[in-house]
Structure 1
Amino acid sequence: MSKTILYARVSTADQTLDHQRTQAEAAGFVIDEVVADHGVSGVSTTLQERPEGKRLYDKLRHGDTLVVRWVDRLGRNYQDVTDTIRHFMRQGVVVKTVINGLTFDGATQDPMQEAVRDALIAFMAATAQAQAEATKEAQKAGIAAAREDSTKYRGKKPSYTRETLGIVVDMLGQGAGTTEISKATGLTRQTVLRIRQNPVAADIALIRWGT
């Protein structure tokens, strides 16, 4: 019997596991099992190097579906992501994303469909790597600046938590509107707008307050 497995990577700056599962179920997925890595960097480790990620290679079988929030969960860079998706497709596993509802299926025999699918995989993987690298550099710079200013004026304490910030950023990535996000998180529209305009600054504000 085929299974639908959600793989999640949860770090201190990311959304919670419960939210990722809820988000997947809200997108219409019926999750049979969740495999999750906690506190593991997605920029410096491959899927096979993560304690739980490597279990997927033994656990997934032909006909199963692997669900991930986004393709960046499957590797640390362009090559990792494309290799991982293609490996699972060769095993008869269908890979689906919660964001944008993408499906990568190796079953198609039509050369045109294969070309479109492979081009999409390449584009999404390259985008994921570029975003990860940009975020990492911005956060490194922000953390350094925050530490330098730790004894100086920290500004007003943020009205959001790290978990709430993750939810806001995630919903923004899906194209959710300010009012919708405000209702979902309990934050004011002005706060959501500030986070949308500069999510790195929002993260730095939390660092300055030691959260």
Structure 2
Amino acid sequence: MSNVVGYARVSTTDQNPELQLDALNKAGAYRIFTDHGVSGAKTERPELDKMLDHLRKGDTLLVWRLDRLGRNMAHLVSLVAELKDRGITFRSIMEGIDTSTINGELVFNIFASLASFERDLIRERTSAGLASARARGRLGGRPKKHDAKKIALIKRLHAAGDMTPKEIADAAQVSVSSMYRLLKMETDA
């Protein structure tokens, strides 16, 4: 026998999940797991994890809207594929998705294709932007945190040999591990 298990989520503790809970109850959820104050961008959420453990083959996971399950389409696609592998169907009330039907499966596969397309587009734009910046003489990535003066100070203090690694790191206002990394960078350069 198939059980319909609901999942609701609100991003902040002052938000109220009642709208979602009412819709999930009306759509037949016999049990609802609710995360309060948890971003949809996080893949690990306490109630989501409990619900995933609770679901069994033949069950249906029901959400009010796709963004309640997750904001990241890649994570949503992965989660629904995992459910399918476990023999669990997925339904989203607002989007009208029901993976127990051929039409619902088609709609979700279109979403999956769009997610893949979006990831490829972002990757392509990032590469083009970095290439453009390099062509103008700029390097991509974060600016360097430690300048040449700091590296030279660390190297000089280390070479003197009269300070402990902790004392050198403190003098340069870096951690001991950063001091060793910066020493290595200087000697490799």
Report the TM-score, using the length of structure 1 for normalisation.
0.48
Q: 1:40 aligns with which of 38, 41, 47?
A: 38
Matches of 2:14 and 2:91, distance apart in 1: 20
Corresponding residue of 1:158: none
Report the alpha carbon displacement of residue 59 of structure 1 after superposing the two structures with TM. 0.6
Q: 1:73 aligns with which of 60, 65, 68?
A: 68
Matches of 1:58 and 1:82, distance apart in 2: 18
For the 8 Å contact 1:72–1:125, the answer to whether it is kept is no
* Residues 87-117 of structure 1: per-residue CA shift (max 9 Å, x gap): 1011111100110321123x86xxxx79834
Corresponding residue of 2:55: 60
Matches of 1:104 and 1:5, distance apart in 2: 15
Q: Is it true that 1:51 corresponds to 2:46 in the alignment?
A: yes
Matches of 1:63 and 1:104, distance apart in 2: 12
* Residues 135-190 of structure 1: per-residue CA shift (max 9 Å, x gap): xxxxxxxxxxxxxxxxxxxxxxxxxxxxxxxxxxxxxxxxxxxxxxxxxxxxxxxx
Query: Any idea what SS the aligned residue of 2:57 has?
Result: coil
Report the alpha carbon displacement of residue 56 of structure 1 after superposing the two structures with TM. 2.1
Taking a change above 3 Å as real, the CA distance of residues 51 and 117 of structure 1, as seen in their structure-2 partners, is: same
Report the alpha carbon displacement of residue 55 of structure 1 after superposing the two structures with TM. 1.2
Unaligned runs of 5+ in 1: 130-211
Query: Any idea what SS the aligned residue of 2:33 has?
Result: strand
Report the alpha carbon displacement of residue 124 of structure 1 after superposing the two structures with TM. 7.1
Query: Any idea what SS the aligned residue of 1:66 has?
Result: strand
1:1-211 to 2 correspondences below 5 Å: 1-12=1-12, 16-26=16-26, 29-43=27-41, 45-46=42-43, 49-105=44-100, 116-122=106-112
Unaligned runs of 5+ in 2: 120-189
For the 8 Å contact 1:4–1:64, the answer to whether it is kept is yes
Report the TM-score, using the length of structure 2 for normalisation.
0.53
Q: Relative CO higher for 1 or 2, CA cutoff 8 Å, sep ≥ 6?
A: 1
Give the 4+ runs in structure 1 shifted more than 3 A.
123-126
Matches of 1:95 and 1:15, distance apart in 2: 25
Give the paired residue count: 119
Provide the identity percentage. Answer: 34
Look at both structures and tell me which one has the larger radius of gyration over its CA atoms: 2
